[in-house]
Amino acid sequence: MARALVQLWAICMLRVALATVYFQEEFLDGEHWRNRWLQSTNDSRFGHFRLSSGKFYGHKEKDKGLQTTQNGRFYAISARFKPFSNKGKTLVIQYTVKHEQKMDCGGGYIKVFPADIDQKNLNGKSQYYIMFGPDICGFDIKKVHVILHFKNKYHENKKLIRCKVDGFTHLYTLILRPDLSYDVKIDGQSIESGSIEYDWNLTSLKKETSPAESKDWEQTKDNKAQDWKKHFLDTSASKQSDWNGELDGDWPAPMLQKPPYQDGLKLEGIHKDVWLHRKMKNTDYLTQYDLSEFENIGAIGLELWQVRSGTIFDNFLITDDEEYADNFGKATWGETKGPEREMDAIQAKEEMKKAREEEEEELLSGRINRHEHYFNQFHRRNEL
């Protein structure tokens, strides 16, 4: 048994060693976070962040994160890390967000930026690679944004992904894989997945066919047609005696029947779009223009608007390993989610008790005041 545990531990350690962690932030060193995160000075009206675990929490220190502090403000802050490319690798982006103020209108999403981002001038027009996370405003907007930058444009997942709207901390995870699959998780559970190519309408953004590709297609189609014709030729037929190859060209052998691709019918077994897709795939088209690949990832940040402040962002992670992200989520949010709800429940009971006591005091005070009022009126009558 002991040997099996040792082997399991060794496997886990090997797995951790194989994972590449590009960025990880838990805010466990107090105010030193200010050395890593830079507030934008693009607008003097930007709201400010503070380090806080909120009014209720699972662990006072572990649950501390960046909290918005001013109502009706834009916020812009970011942190750098060593630039990297996720080409040919899985990309996992994960963090926790807590709308302690019961968000009515505002963002809870994060953005991943290229390494050349100007942190001091970060604003709503700053180019980003990925925008991911919840956005809430009124009854209509309660969604998880998954926006990717592709060919100088931003493209959002066409599926409606619902976000959490309560006041507790939630774990948000985005996974982009090199096989063009993706996964969106909330609290460790997959809530949406599918194909990056189709769910971002990549199929409608394929590279335009170049003249050379069109020529290749026509040549391929002609060759294919010639191959098909061979199946319908009368091989027993003899060439005409007066046929001159130099003057008349190749002798067209008679056909046993008409090929099925004539008269407007498609040439069976070949389709231009399919052929082009396969050709571009074979020439690394899908990897060169893949929505899930970014060459110069180098910063993560918060650039958003909030009507009511109080949101807390924590446990940021960017890695290439899904299992590492899963374990990191369990070791952070997973350890404090239960105690957080317990503390909230205790506070709610205390607030209800206090409210009842205040109400009883008001009622009692009202009775005393009424009694004094009647008493004073009685004495005034006697005096008269």
Whole-number Å distance between alpha carbons of 127 and 295: 14
CA angle 71/171/325 to nearest 5° reads 135
**In 10 A of CB 239, how many CB atoms?**
10
Residue 103 class from Cβ within 10 Å (0-12 exposed, 13-18 middle, 19+ buried)? buried
User: Is 246 a known ligand-binding residue?
Assistant: no
Tokens of 25: 């932030």
Q: Is 154 annotated as a binding residue?
A: no
Residues 170/182, Cβ–Cβ less than 8 Å? no
According to the annotation, is 22 in a ligand binding site?
A: no
Q: What angle do CA 86, 184, 294 make, to 5 degrees?
A: 20
Q: Percent helix, strand and coil across the chain, each rounded to 5?
A: 35, 30, 35
What is the spatial distance between Cα 255 and Cα 232, in angstroms, rounded to a whole number? 5
Q: 155-186 burial by CB neighbour count: b if 16+ within 10 A, else e? A: bebeeeeebbeebebbbbbbbbebebbbbbbb
Residue 31 annotated as part of some ligand binding site = no
Taking the C-alpha atoms of residue 231 and residue 224, their distance in angstroms, rounded to an integer, is 12
Structure token digits, residue 63: 């649950």
On whether 303 is known to bind a ligand per the annotation, the reply is: yes
Binding residues: 109, 111, 128, 135, 303
Annotated binding site for an alpha-D-glucoside: 109, 111, 128, 135, 303
